[in-house]
Amino acid sequence: MKLQQSDLAALSRREFLATTAGLSVAAAVQPSALAETVPAKSAPKMIGIQVGSVSFVDEGVEQVLDLLQEKAAVNTIFLTTFTYGRGLAGRQIPGQLFPDHGPQQSDENFFHGGNFATPHAEFYRSTILKDTRAPDHGNLDILEAVLPAAKKRGLKVFCSCEDAWRSSVPGFSEVAEIDLNGRKTGGQCLFHPDVRNFWTGLVTDLSRSYAVDGILFFNERNSPLLNALGASHAQSIESGRVTCFCEHHRQAARKLGIDPDRAQEGFRKLDKFVQQALMGQRPDDGYFVEFWRLLVENPDILAWDRLFDLGKHQVLAEVRTAVMAVRQYLQVGFHIEHVNSFNPIFRATRRYSDLADKADFLKVVVYNNCGGERYAHFVDNVCSTVFRDVPREELLRFNNHLLNYSQDAALSDLPQAGLSSDYVARETQRAIKGVEGKCKILPGIDIGIPTGRNSRKASPEDSYAAVAAALKAGADGVILSRKYSEMRLVNLAAAGKAVRDCAG
């Protein structure tokens, strides 16, 4: 069945279930009734796919599950349950070709986001962020709609929850980060108690109220040093907007012996350095020396940068602890963002073994098609400031060595060339070694992630090669990314063929 947007407002949750799955509301059950979901000891490789609620609404629950099982050999659904972002939710993003399924019409005008399940008020008593119900599909609770049908088929279901917000959410401005110049931003302070309580409340609610198999948590926000330099693939260079200097953040700093005022002063100097670099005003000793001198003379810059990571990782740990408190055998995984692959400075701030202590699995992003343009963007950004004295092609080659990439495309060709399946294999192996057997590695595979007009688009050959490379490298499974509503069926089928050829 297909549901029109206009139908949904009038359709009650129970009616939707009756017409979609033909089942009673079985999802909202008590923990004592969930013992049968304990995973088997010799579980097969986890073949997951990220799907937003709109796809089930547009194309029908049973139809989508049929297709994912038959074409892509999927055994796990990563169902986007909380986000205000379009990377995991909504139809194809505006400006991109629609895939060969679902409506050929943008949801740009009615996409909102939030919690696509039902927030139960008792879990949000300790946070100001109480009103997050996604209005996109009327009264539909996407977990109640999908869980019974998925369970009947033996599919596992994880809730994807992403730290991506709208500033119009009630209470948001109370917990917003404060930037270097005292302005509120579009991100939330990870040291604000209401933010901490929101995340633990959300994952407790989802784990306790529904028969899910676990949580996949996404937080792609970067630390202030990387933000100041734009040292990622999808960033502008905003050294004057780095965060966070709110009172909660300052308190956390003082407890660790970090002086907030000295840190702020350091970031002001860094802002000046970046702005002068962007204008081509070369320091007498060159860009890199001046940058390194800034770090040496202002150690609070790095201390403040580490503080952000500390807050982010504390949230991860608290999320896992909260889920474990509901049911020990639920699994919690973390999405490890793409910058972890491109940026050697970021790599140095992460140890896979530390992340593994907090997780049952890591979804390591190894998106290879869009990886070309993203990597090129990273090199362009760092060559605008810290490495401005280095010719870009030379920096690219140097960085390839630092990162153990085998790619040999020139910078100008990288967006069209993409990265290879060898890249997928190498990054998968690095992660497997890094976690030292303490958690599973599920590489995130690029199946048609949107790219620029002249950049590489996913093909069946690419999709097959990437999935095969990850599995042959020893991954515990894969997660087809970013969302079903942007994937072409021919690419999904190629991914499925690779699973059937290699996962046995």
What is the rounded CA–CA span in Å between residue 136 and residue 311?
31
How big is the chain, counted in residues? Answer: 504
| Tally: H helices and E strands in the chain | 21, 12
Q: Which residue lies nearer to Zn ion by CB, 39 or 171?
A: 171
What is the rounded CA–CA span in Å between residue 269 and residue 289?
14
Nearest approach, Cβ of residue 221 and Zn ion (Å): 12
The answer to whether 197 touches 306, Cβ cutoff 8 Å, is no
- The token pair that represents 442 in the structure block: 């599920």
What is the rounded CA–CA span in Å between residue 117 and residue 382?
41
Q: Which residue lies nearer to Zn ion by CB, 244 or 495?
A: 244
Nearest approach, Cβ of residue 315 and Zn ion (Å): 13
Looking at this protein, which amino acid is placed at residue 63?
A: Q
Query: Among candidates 493, 498, 485, 469, which has minimal Cα distance to 366?
Result: 469
Stretch of residues binding Zn ion (CB under 5 A), selected from 186-194, 256-264, 357-365, 420-428: 186-194
Q: Is 19 exposed, middle or buried (0-12, 13-18, 19+ CB in 10 A)?
A: exposed
Nearest approach, Cβ of residue 7 and Zn ion (Å): 43
Q: Which residue lies nearer to Zn ion by CB, 13 or 184?
A: 184
User: For Zn ion, what does the binding mask look like between residues 97 and 116, x meaning CB under 5 A?
Assistant: --------------------
What 3-state class would DSSP assign to 339? Answer: helix
Q: How far is CA 77 from the centre of its chain?
A: 15
Q: Which residue lies nearer to Zn ion by CB, 174 or 422?
A: 174
Nearest approach, Cβ of residue 1 and Zn ion (Å): 46
Query: Residue 471: CA atoms inside 13 Å, Cβ hemisphere, count?
Result: 25
Stretch of residues binding Zn ion (CB under 5 A), selected from 181-189, 219-227, 305-313, 341-349: 181-189
User: For Zn ion, what does the binding mask look like between residues 227 and 266, x meaning CB under 5 A?
Assistant: -----------------x-x-xx-----------------
- The token pair that represents 161 in the structure block: 């929850």
What is the rounded CA–CA span in Å between residue 178 and residue 199?
20
Q: Which residue lies nearer to Zn ion by CB, 114 or 311?
A: 311
Stretch of residues binding Zn ion (CB under 5 A), selected from 182-190, 255-263, 357-365, 424-432: 182-190
Q: Which residue lies nearer to Zn ion by CB, 163 or 486?
A: 163
Nearest approach, Cβ of residue 123 and Zn ion (Å): 23
What is the rounded CA–CA span in Å between residue 304 and residue 314?
15
Q: Which residue lies nearer to Zn ion by CB, 54 or 189?
A: 189
The answer to whether 371 touches 414, Cβ cutoff 8 Å, is no
Nearest approach, Cβ of residue 192 and Zn ion (Å): 6
Q: Do the strands 361-364 and 214-218 form a parallel or antiparallel pair, or are they unpaired?
A: unpaired
Nearest approach, Cβ of residue 231 and Zn ion (Å): 21
User: Per CB under 5 A, does 307 bind Zn ion?
Assistant: no
- The site that binds Zn ion (CB under 5 A) totals a number of residues, namely 5
Query: Among candidates 361, 304, 313, which has minimal Cα distance to 335?
Result: 361
Stretch of residues binding Zn ion (CB under 5 A), selected from 185-193, 383-391, 412-420, 464-472: 185-193
Q: Which residue lies nearer to Zn ion by CB, 77 or 246?
A: 246
The answer to whether 180 touches 271, Cβ cutoff 8 Å, is yes
Determine if the peptide bond prior to 244 is cis (ω within 30°): yes
Query: Among candidates 428, 479, 441, which has minimal Cα distance to 78?
Result: 479
Stretch of residues binding Zn ion (CB under 5 A), selected from 187-195, 269-277, 385-393, 420-428: 187-195
Q: Which residue lies nearer to Zn ion by CB, 214 or 311?
A: 311
Nearest approach, Cβ of residue 262 and Zn ion (Å): 17
* Beta bridge pairs of residue 333: 216, 361
Looking at this protein, which amino acid is placed at residue 93?
A: I
User: For Zn ion, what does the binding mask look like between residues 128 and 167, x meaning CB under 5 A?
Assistant: ----------------------------------------
Looking at this protein, which amino acid is placed at residue 409?
A: A
The answer to whether 152 touches 160, Cβ cutoff 8 Å, is no
Nearest approach, Cβ of residue 190 and Zn ion (Å): 7
**Of 189, 263, 274, 319, the one binding Zn ion by CB under 5 A:** 189
Q: Which residue lies nearer to Zn ion by CB, 248 or 363?
A: 248
Nearest approach, Cβ of residue 413 and Zn ion (Å): 42
Q: Which residue lies nearer to Zn ion by CB, 193 or 286?
A: 193
Which chain residues interact with Zn ion by CB under 5 A?
189, 244, 246, 248-249
